[in-house]
Amino acid sequence: MRDSYAGRLQRRATTRRPLLHTSYRSDMALLNTRAKRYAVLALLLVGMSLPFLLPDAFLTELAGGSAYAIGAIGLMLLTGFAGQISLGHAFFAGVGFYTAAVISGDPDGRALGFGVTEILIWLPAAGLVAAAAGALVAPLATRLRGLYLAIVTLGLVFVGERVFAQWSAVTGGGSAGRPPPTVRLFGYRLDADGAFTKPQQLFWLMLVLLVVFAVVARNLARSNVGRAFTAIRDRDIAAGVIGVNLTKQKTVAFAISSFYAGCAGALFYTTVLNVNPNQFNLFLSVLFIVMVLIGGVGTISGAIAGAFLIALLPRFTDALAEWLPFISTRPQDVLNDSVTRFVLYGLLIIGFLLFEPRGLVGIWSRIRNWWTTFPFSY
């Protein structure tokens, strides 16, 4: 009796002292404070209840944002953690999309299709094929670094865009395009109105997948693979000297990053009706880079924050057009809302790189540090 009481007091000794880590497990815990645990729980609850609170159009944008976020996490692993600058992300997204579209496509349709609509089959397949493509490209990265690698991956996008436009059996051709993959989960159709509307169902799907992909990436980042990535980013020669297998790790980085890109590509377009092959162009690659930069290089949460900011930017420019009369919504005007959006992308990149190089996450950590160091400044 006495022992259990004192035992409780002793357990409290460690639970009430967040810095007193008595095991490696508690030292490495992702949600290491009570505040973090509650915040993440609240965020998930809010996320899961959003379909009841927001209009369908908004949900579609958020679902797209989640798919973007998965792609951005992939690029974050490659660029933010392993330091390999890649402009080829759109190409891998395309590979993933067409893999999924072909597997789940209508066998009687205009473009090639096998009619396997189960997402548990076509999503991993999309990821794996993209990962294989990534692994094929990876040897280039072991020979090149920095700007040269960026140029080579840029070439990849151009080649991809050409192939996608010409290979009409798969892609439906440059002008026509093809429908996105059909989404069935255990036989239940998600991309058509059922018990809930299509945007509601897709939003839930994307949110759950985003959480899964993000947790996997976060765990990867704190494992030996993640540490090898960071070592390569900080100085690849030094990493090689301390025993990191550069060829292997860079290949792993490209493969995993491409897996994420492939899944993101397959998922993103499920909300639309028809996809044109010129979607997978340089602009999409740059968009992913923007997400990573604005979100905050080197953090998974940064990739997610950046992706949602970019996904919701059109909504913001539309609102801006309502408030500022000189921004027109007609496409033929010089300063229309789509131009404003591009200008904003540019301004955001310049602004963040100049004033907040650590991105949205940097702003947050600055706020948090202000309070965690209170009443001192360090």
Partner 1 sequence: MTTTILTAAVTTTTLATRVAGWADRHPGRVAMRHKHLGIWQEVTWASYWDTAQTVAHGLLDLGIEPGDRVAIHSENRPEWLFTDVATVAVRAATVGLYPTNPPAEVSHLLSHSGAKLLVAEDQEQVDKALAVLDKCPDLAHIVYLEPRGIRSSRQAATGYPRLLGWPELLARGAAHRAAHPDALPARMAAATGEDVATLIYTSGTTGPPKGAMLSVANVEFAIATHRTGEGFADPAPGPYDLLLSYLPLCHVVERTFTTWFNAGSGSQVNFAESIATVPQNLAEVQPTILFSVPRIWEKLLAGVQIRLAHASWPKRLAAGFWLRRAGRIGDTLVRTGGRHTLASRLVYGIGWVCWFRALRVRLGLRRVRAAVSGAAPIAPEVLKFFMGIGVPMFEAYGMTENAAIATANRPGRIRLGTVGEPLGAAEVRIDPHSSEILTRHPGVFTGYFRDPAATANVLTADGWLRTGDIGEWVDGTHVRITDRAKDIIITAGGKNVAPSELENALKTSPYVKEVVVIGDRRPYLTALVGIELDTVGDWAQRRRIDFTTYRDLSTKPEVVELVASLVDDVNQRFAAAEQIKRFRLLPKELDHEDGELTGTQKVKRAAIAERFVDLIDDLYGKPAR
Within 8 A by CB and 6+ apart from 267, the residues are: 66, 67, 70, 123, 206, 209
8-state DSSP, 338: H
Which of 143/366 has CB closer to partner 1?
366
In the complex, least distance from residue 16 CB atom to partner 1, rounded to whole angstroms: 8
Binding region for partner 1 (CB under 8 A) out of 111-119, 205-213, 227-235, 367-375? 367-375
8-state DSSP, 336: B
Binding region for partner 1 (CB under 8 A) out of 3-11, 97-105, 109-117, 235-243? 3-11
4 lies in the site for partner 1, by CB under 8 A: no
User: Binders of partner 1 among 92-151, rule CB under 8 A?
Assistant: none
Which helix (H) or strand (E) segment holds residue 61: the answer is: helix 56-75
Closest residue by Cα to residue 304 from 93, 44, 125, 91: 44
Q: What's the angle, vertex CA 95, arms to CA 92 and CA 98, rounded to 5?
A: 150
322 lies in the site for partner 1, by CB under 8 A: no
In the complex, least distance from residue 41 CB atom to partner 1, rounded to whole angstroms: 24
Question: Which residue in the set 7, 146, 155, 357 belongs to the binding site for partner 1 (CB under 8 A)?
Answer: 7
In the complex, least distance from residue 19 CB atom to partner 1, rounded to whole angstroms: 4
DSSP symbols for 135-182: HHHHHHHHH--HHHHHHHHHHHHHHHHHHHHH-HHHH--TTT-BPPPP
**Contact present, 200 and 63 (Cβ < 8 Å):** no
Binding region for partner 1 (CB under 8 A) out of 13-21, 84-92, 315-323, 332-340? 13-21
Within 8 A by CB and 6+ apart from 18, the residues are: 32, 33
Task: Report the b/e string of 342-353 with b at 16+ CB within 10 A.
Answer: eebbeebeeebe
Which of 9/53 has CB closer to partner 1?
9
374 lies in the site for partner 1, by CB under 8 A: yes
Please give the structure tokens belonging to residue 171. 């892609």
377 lies in the site for partner 1, by CB under 8 A: yes
13 lies in the site for partner 1, by CB under 8 A: yes
Which of 28/40 has CB closer to partner 1?
28
In the complex, least distance from residue 37 CB atom to partner 1, rounded to whole angstroms: 19
Which of 19/237 has CB closer to partner 1?
19
State the Cα torsion 314-317-323-325 to the nearest 10°. Answer: -120
Binding characters for partner 1, 21-40, by CB under 8 A (x = yes) = xxxx--x-------------
CA distance 278 to 43: 36
Please report, as ranges, the residues that interact with partner 1 according to CB under 8 A: 3, 6-7, 9-10, 12-13, 17, 19-24, 27, 373-378
